[in-house]
Amino acid sequence: MLYLDHAATTPMRPEARAAMAPFLADVFGNPSGLHGVARTAKNALEDARERAAGILGAAHPLEIVFTGGGTEADNLAVVGAALAEGGGVVTAATEHEAVLESAAFLTRIGRDTRVVGVDGAGRVDVQNVIDSVDDATAVVSVMAANNETGVVQPVAKLATAVHGERPGVVVHTDAVQAFVSEDVTVGDLGVDLLSLAAHKFGGPKGIGLLYVRNGVDLEPVIHGGGQELGRRSGTQNVAGIVGMVAAMEAATEGRDEFRSRVRAERDVFESRLTGAIPDVVVNAPSDARLVQHSHVRIPGVPAETLLIRLDQRGVAASAGSACQSGAIEPSHVLTAMGIGSEDARHCVRFSFGWTTPRGAGSDAAGAVIETVGALR
């Protein structure tokens, strides 16, 4: 199988598996306990928290809140900040469903929600966001990079502008896709809240984190025993947490090599594809997107049909977000970019990852070219 759906999930890194192994067997304690078995788990948990804080440039380890994944982290950031501050949210039309559905929930309970449009490349205009923020706004949420197209948003510029115009408004970014290939630190981005999901960069599924700048109040969205300083109740998944942080370290240490290798494969893929199929459209500019994403439209070839045929040839890709319950429907991201529903049904995402072998770009392009030729 030539796997080119790393934006949906990527294989677990060996460093993560090795880190998790003891906590799946003998080191099984509940970190909330007082005895030695529990303290061993607690020590591992807090060590992981310190290392995660260091990678993200957090001022203090307790600014890291461990969650059950990126979706939960987004919910806690958007809903938690809005409820704590008594306001609503401003976000972008191309956000992940975790953010957009959180905003929709806030609308249902009477909070002000404003969704800002994007340009044809899928990027928000900072001034448009600022113009949408008012006294009813508690949080602005704009993702660092889009999960479908890979388009990078001007988050640092946006955070500076929001804090300058509205010092009381907190800024959140979903950095789930960006962390895979970009240097992500809260200082450089200037954000108050930042979400990550482990399984996108080689950690286990079902674990994530939310960076919460000291002084930012959150109303918890999961209630219980008050773990994570009361911000996220529930017994911590120690095995998942140590696996995630090991994967964070491996991804950070190998980032330069990853970017160079993956960009080369992606560029070869697109070069071969556009050379053989002149009407192929790449849906995002190469200078403003993640190196691992290639989102293309092939006119006259339905995405569903192409994906089935490619799967039969041993090539795995997708039609967009992996969070749409398997249904191939016109993407809200593409609709927001001004791509019509019919054209959107002819779009496919190819996403490269840390296990992508050399030559994969050329091999994948060859498979797509042959398959499109047969279908046409």
Q: Catalytic residue positions? A: 323
Cβ neighbours of 257 (radius 10 Å): 10
- Cα 55 from Cα 58, distance rounded (Å): 8
Say which residue the tokens 């977000």 belong to: 321
213 CB neighbour count, 10 Å cutoff: 17
In angstroms, how far apart are the furthest CA atoms of the chain? 67
User: How would you class 365 by CB atoms within 10 Å of its CB: exposed for 0-12, middle for 13-18, buried for 19 or more?
Assistant: buried
Q: What's the rounded Cα separation, in Å, for the pair 89 and 112?
A: 7
User: What burial letters (b/e) apply to 32-69, b meaning 16+ CB within 10 Å?
Assistant: eeeeeeeebbbebbeebbebbbebbebeeebbbbbbbb
Contact, 180 vs 148, CB < 8 A? no
The structure tokens listed for 298 are: 């092939």
> DSSP letters along 288-353, please?
GB-TTEEEEE-TTS-HHHHHHHHHHTTEE-BSS-TTSTT-----HHHHHTT--HHHHTTEEEEE--
Residue 49 amino acid letter: R
Cβ neighbours of residue 88 under 8 Å, at least 6 residues apart? 82, 106, 107, 111, 112, 113, 114, 136, 137, 138
Closest CA to 333 of 317, 344, 348: 344
Q: Is 326 exposed, middle or buried (0-12, 13-18, 19+ CB in 10 A)?
A: exposed
Count Cβ atoms below 10 Å from residue 370 Cβ, excluding itself. Answer: 14
